[in-house]
Structure 1
Amino acid sequence: MTTTPWPLGVDGIAYGGDYNPEQWPLATRVEDVELMREAGVTLVSVGIFSWAQLEPREGEHDFGWLDDVLDRLHAAGIRVALATATASPPPWLSRTHPEILPELADGTVLHPGGRQAYRVSSPTYRAYALRMARTVAERYAAHPALALWHVDNELGCHVPHDFSDDSAAAFRRWLEARYGTVDALNHAWGTAFWSQRYDTFDEVLPPREAPTYPNPTQQLDFARYSSDELLAWYRELRDVLREVTPHVPTTTNLMMSTGTKWMDYFSWAGDLDVVANDHYTRAHDEDAHVELAFSADLSRGVAGGDPWMLMEHSTSAVNWQPRNRSKRPGEMLRHSFGHLARGADAIMFFQWRQSAAGAEKYHSAMLPHAGTDSDVWRSTVALGSALSAVGELRGSRVHADVALVFDYPAWWGTELDSHPSADVTYPDRVLAHYRALWRQGVTVDVVPPSADLTGYRLVVVPTLYVVTDADAANLAAAADRGATVLVTYFSGIVDEHDHVRLGGYPGAFRDLLGVRAEEFWALQDGETVTLDDGSTADVWSEHLHLRPGTEAVRTFVDGDLAGGAAVTRRPVGDAGGAAWYLATRLSPEALDDLTAALVAEAGVRPVVDGLAAGGGAGIGPGVEAVRRVADDGRSWLVVLNHTDADVQVRAGGHELLADRPVAGVLEVPAGGVAVVREAH
């Protein structure tokens, strides 16, 4: 089994959530502990937003209430992920030191009254917050309930970029470390354009509001700096905790989804003892479980395949979307097991008890406003029992034959201003290709372009606009080893400095793909083109030239580029590899067809076969299956049925949730979940 650091003393699948006892009187806190035991809670995060309670005035501390809470939790056998309490500064700090407040690009100051009202680069803020973290660590270093340090909270959630003078100074230091000389910076930023040449680093600013488009490389580097600065802040807090409690693992809750853009979490992974993620589904998305699966696979990718923690999700509705939908019967269980299936060994929520006041009072919780006589509470207890029944999955891993390449700098670069088409965006295309693979019933690893791609049969590379020479070579090597590699439009266009790779598009991938585009052909709003198989596409096309050995799999039959290639394929190497290029945005149906062809060519099999309508490859729409495997060869099949009809799949072994044998046929009820310890 894995040797990944894990919350101390937590066995099986950890279960619990954020616990905010400072919001409640003593009698409620006493009741909380008893109800946690009833629900099977094993781990709670405490103290995340408690700085103002722990230090109500500068230098005056009140730890009595927190001492009592931790003592009661320990007596009940519940472990604690204790926070540094630095996630939001107390009002007295911003009143006495308003220079800690962050600023927007237009100079607007973000004032207290919400949360995260601090500039991460402020030396003043860092000094106060480090002192607070050390105080908490020293007080609770030996407390028997302490299992994990929860560093700050959702770093960069509300202030991913700060444009203040403190940030400007830190940005200059970052640039000097990156480039060494101003001449190197001028070359990287292309400052010969628009008379932007710098004579010293002191002349450089963040990309504040300007009369027109700021320098694109300046924007890209500021995004890199901002992610690195948040990570540097995590490291400072972590190092204080390690100094005081070297035996206690540390983490912070990341926000890996298609909605969080500005932190490059792949670069953060090496600094986290265990990777933790917060994830919330979107009420308007009828297939929200697919985006959930993507987020879970991305979390596993950031964790390098190791088990990870789901630190937050919701029991029902959230409070921050335009229209907040409650979860349907069984959805809370399915969502939780969706994360567990894809490598999560901790299932936690925001929060334990639903708040009676404040901005998140309508955010659901494990214990809702309605109390214990409620469907949400009964679901909370049932989930605790279900997770206890599958505790043996702890430490097992997920294997995939398909890699989906995901890159934060490519996201940032793709969506810079002054580009060929405002309709070319990044996360929607990544998710479109993920959805098509999900519908094929195959398991996907979401990985960076620098990942070791050895062993993958299929590698999908959507819109990798920014790419280094090394990463482009890494992807080409996968095809040389026999993988089928799909690269989509607006990929390989620029290097890491956002300089166009001259000689024709798609730049870094011309040789791999055997194509050269002399010009982009952006389609107008609402404009579509037809391909020779009758399918349609929109947003994008290219004037392609094919080299000998490259075939046009699909061509345009109308529009300005009629007769030109839309989809191409080139055999690669002696091991049966192939490089495909998709030069337009296919309709979902056409993308499904292309993905099915790629999966078949690569020899990728679905995780499990269904029995309905004679069975066959996969298990049909709305049903997903993932296999987790232990180092000793044991395996578990997790099947989630998101449909309103019972399904049957091929499986054999012992179903853990119902505690029953399975002899060849597993029936999963409508909206249900099954976990089978497989027979070998």
Structure 2
Amino acid sequence: MKFKKIEVPFPIGVEYFRSGVPKREVWEKDFFEIKRRGFNIVRTASYWNWMEPSKGQYKLDDIDAFFDLAKDNGLYVWIDIMLATHGACPEWLIKEYPDICAVNNLGNNILPDAHPAYSQGAMRHCYDHPAWRKYGGKLLDHVVNRYKKHDAMYAWGIWDGINLSTAWTSQGNQLPCYCSNTIKKYINWLKNKFTLNELNERVLRRYNFWSDIEIPRSNQNVLEMLLYKQFNYENLSDHLKWMINRTRKLDDIHETRTHGGWIPRPWDEICAEVADSWGMSMPSNNLLNENATSLMSDRVFAFSWARYLGKNNRWWNEEIYSGMSPGGVKWGNQTKPEELSILLWMTLIYGASGAMFWQYRPDYMAFESPGYNLASLDGKPTQRLEAVSEDILKIKEIYEHLPLGFFNSQVAIMNHQLSHEIFTYNELGDEFIQEIRGLFRNFWSDGIQADIISPKTDLTNYKLILLPNISIITDDVFNSINDVLNSNKDTNLIATSNFGLYSDNGLSSYNPPDKFSEKLGVRISDFSTITQEDINIGNNVLETPLGNYKIVKPTRFTILEQTNGSEAVALLNGNIVGIENLNKNFSWYGFSFEALSNKKDFYNSLSNKNNIFQQISVNRENVIPIIRKSNKKGVLIFLFNLNEQDTICEVTLNIDIKSGVDLTKNETLYLSNNVFNVQMNKWGLNIIHCDYK
């Protein structure tokens, strides 16, 4: 699908107006300044109760003025239509349809609430009530028809932070809605998937009638909650599809957008496939410190996941928080200008369609203020705005090289969303994400590009696939792994930690790893842990053919047993904790690599064993090298110094180049055998253009 385009290869914008703030008197001066500083887009997002305070009476004079002023200043508009995002529906809708209120797992209606991001009322209406589509659809139609032909119109934000209807207040207890409309839809969904006997067999119940079914209200009801969550995630996707299709019917020119958070959620993939592009929001402060490489890697991991999810890899970093979060009277540590600069450049390098900052001015009305801002409360520029303005100029200087091209990755890491889901039931959702991030970080920090993928990906396109905590073996997981095992291609699989402990319905497997035990030549003998006491007395040495490594933090491990010709490849205190199958294309390590000492050496050995070709390397810790294809010719090398001091870095390229120019300093580099040295500033970026021989 072709969208309306902005005449730059990488548009950059800011969120500006939300439900009454900033006040109209400052708009003209601000829009002039926004354009002068090189921004292309202004984003507005107003809540439903602000846009339609009376039934059928749309109060959009402020949005009209916003569009006209944007046009006058040569800016484009990104408008969010917030029928299902954060904020409240109109008061008249609740009064007319009291049963539109979402209901929590305890059977209580969600009461009026608020949050720093939606101080004018938290969302408490359920999407499954017919009135939501009836009246929300009318507002959607009105807004699209009103602005679709405006010269400044650029993109429709259809669902910001897509999530369950109960997610926007603590009253929801982190579970779905339990109103009568949602329950009715769920029962019909079950009927379309199962007979009553099939359902009973799947969830180990003895329901006599469909009316007997109890809706699961605790994550400890694992088998039934997996089904209820699956229904709710498919339901989210269906509601998003309805809004997008309704928008496209009226306007097939402008992009439709939705986004999640910067931390993956189990419903991301099913929702992302519906929209024209995916995206995220992310905090920007507290990044540049002694843990800068780890913290920045976590952001880049989110970029890689968004790029995978986006249709045709189309994604936006649509909310880089422009200042500290949180704000309020007890504000947090302020964002450094360099933190915004690095996030902006990383967004560009990882293939985003553009970047948006949240916000230009503070929000004023609630405790997001005085944070999240490029301009001060009085509208004057902060150091962060000055830094971003300079970066916009620097990005313009490399326009001829854009869009950047990616080299094919040799390494991929699977993010299995259903396995993530079951980890959340055990209150280990964060640990699940941390392990994937850890695998990504150790390749990324060494200049190796690892893709983040799902089971839908053709795994045979890679040399090395890592499978962290693939705990539920669904059909798509089984098929994707089995295709590799049965192929003659040079692709190796490495599972870590929890693998195949559950069958696809959530029941613990009777023969783990489920569906793979005989094929891989392994059975689970038992489970154990390395405790702090074990570490203190030295019972923590892992023996492998790659070398010996210490377990340096308490961790769980799985005790394995060889069968069918498999080979032990890791021992811990006499226990087998790693096996390799007979064909030597699958290994399983029953522990987290994050627990190891000297991880850099371990990952280097792993890469060498699997013949991973490293295009670029550096001789300084916390200097991150990233290489991309130039749209002009040759390659661009981006070097990020995440150290808290200046440094000189030696760069080695394993590709033949004939010249190198530091575009940051406009200096020709001295090359010797594809090696050159670069002087780098603290928290700085150097951009090197190299031509092939």
**TM-score, with length taken from structure 1:** 0.87
Gaps of 5+ in 1: 192-196, 558-562, 613-619
SS in 2 for 1:436: helix
Q: Distance in 2 between matches of 1:523 and 1:202?
A: 48
Q: Distance in 1 between matches of 2:188 and 2:316?
A: 34
- Would you say the 8 A contact 1:12–1:393 is kept in 2? no
Pair 1:91-2:105 in alignment: no
1:515 deviation in Å? 1.8
- Would you say the 8 A contact 2:375–2:381 is kept in 1? no
Match of 1:510 among 517, 520, 529: 517
Q: Which has the higher contact order (CA 8 A, sep 6+)?
A: 1
- Would you say the 8 A contact 2:557–2:577 is kept in 1? yes
- Would you say the 8 A contact 1:433–1:591 is kept in 2? no
1:27 deviation in Å? 2.2
Pair 1:206-2:206 in alignment: no
Deviation per residue, 1:503-558 (Å, 9 max, x gap): 3x22234345432113333566876552243512633233321135433222122x
- Would you say the 8 A contact 1:305–1:397 is kept in 2? no
Partner of 1:530: 540
Pair 1:170-2:185 in alignment: yes
| Identity score, percent | 16
Q: Distance in 1 between matches of 2:7 and 2:179?
A: 42
Q: Distance in 2 between matches of 1:119 and 1:79?
A: 33
1:297 deviation in Å? 1.0
Q: Distance in 1 between matches of 2:481 and 2:562?
A: 20
Partner of 1:596: 604
1:405 deviation in Å? 0.4
SS in 1 for 2:93: helix
Q: Residues 132-531 of structure 1: matches in 2 within 5 Å?
A: 132-156=139-163, 158-159=167-168, 161-177=176-192, 179-191=193-205, 197-209=206-218, 214-257=220-263, 260-263=264-267, 265-281=268-284, 283=286, 286=292, 287-303=294-310, 306-319=313-326, 324-369=332-377, 371-392=379-400, 394-399=402-407, 400-417=409-426, 425-478=431-484, 480=487, 481-503=489-511, 505-511=512-518, 513-522=520-529, 529-531=539-541
Measured at CA, do residues 298 and 534 of structure 1 come closer, stay the same or move farther in structure 2, by a change above 3 Å? closer
Q: Distance in 1 between matches of 2:571 and 2:207?
A: 48
Partner of 2:585: 578
- Would you say the 8 A contact 1:17–1:351 is kept in 2? yes
Q: Distance in 1 between matches of 2:61 and 2:565?
A: 75
Deviation per residue, 1:454-497 (Å, 9 max, x gap): 33111110000112244223224335422221101221122321
1:630 deviation in Å? 6.2
Partner of 1:541: 557
Which deviates more from structure 2 when the two are superposed, residues 316-325 or residues 37-46?
316-325
Aligned length: 643
- Would you say the 8 A contact 1:368–1:377 is kept in 2? no
Gaps of 5+ in 2: 115-121, 169-174, 654-658
Partner of 1:646: 647
Q: Residues 542-561 of structure 1: matches in 2 within 5 Å?
A: 542-547=558-563, 549-557=565-573
Partner of 1:34: 32
Partner of 1:615: none
- Would you say the 8 A contact 1:494–1:507 is kept in 2? yes
1:221 deviation in Å? 1.6
SS in 1 for 2:386: helix
SS in 2 for 1:363: coil
Q: Distance in 2 between matches of 1:469 and 1:389?
A: 49
- Would you say the 8 A contact 2:549–2:596 is kept in 1? no
1:609 deviation in Å? 2.0
Measured at CA, do residues 329 and 152 of structure 1 come closer, stay the same or move farther in structure 2, by a change above 3 Å? closer
Q: Distance in 2 between matches of 1:189 and 1:547?
A: 32
Measured at CA, do residues 111 and 588 of structure 1 come closer, stay the same or move farther in structure 2, by a change above 3 Å? farther
- Would you say the 8 A contact 1:318–1:364 is kept in 2? yes
Q: Distance in 2 between matches of 1:202 and 1:568?
A: 48
Measured at CA, do residues 23 and 329 of structure 1 come closer, stay the same or move farther in structure 2, by a change above 3 Å? closer
SS in 1 for 2:207: coil
SS in 2 for 1:412: helix
1:252 deviation in Å? 1.0
SS in 1 for 2:12: strand
Q: Distance in 1 between matches of 2:307 and 2:82?
A: 27
1:393 deviation in Å? 5.1
- Would you say the 8 A contact 1:641–1:647 is kept in 2? no
Give the counterpart letter for 1:273 in structure 2: D
CA RMSD of aligned residues (A): 2.9
Q: Distance in 2 between matches of 1:235 and 1:360?
A: 31
Give the counterpart letter for 1:40 in structure 2: G
1:659 deviation in Å? 4.6
- Would you say the 8 A contact 1:343–1:396 is kept in 2? yes
Match of 1:80 among 69, 77, 82: 77
Measured at CA, do residues 437 and 534 of structure 1 come closer, stay the same or move farther in structure 2, by a change above 3 Å? closer
Match of 2:23 among 22, 25, 28: 25
Q: Distance in 1 between matches of 2:233 and 2:500?
A: 23
Moved over 6 A (4+): 320-323, 421-424, 630-633
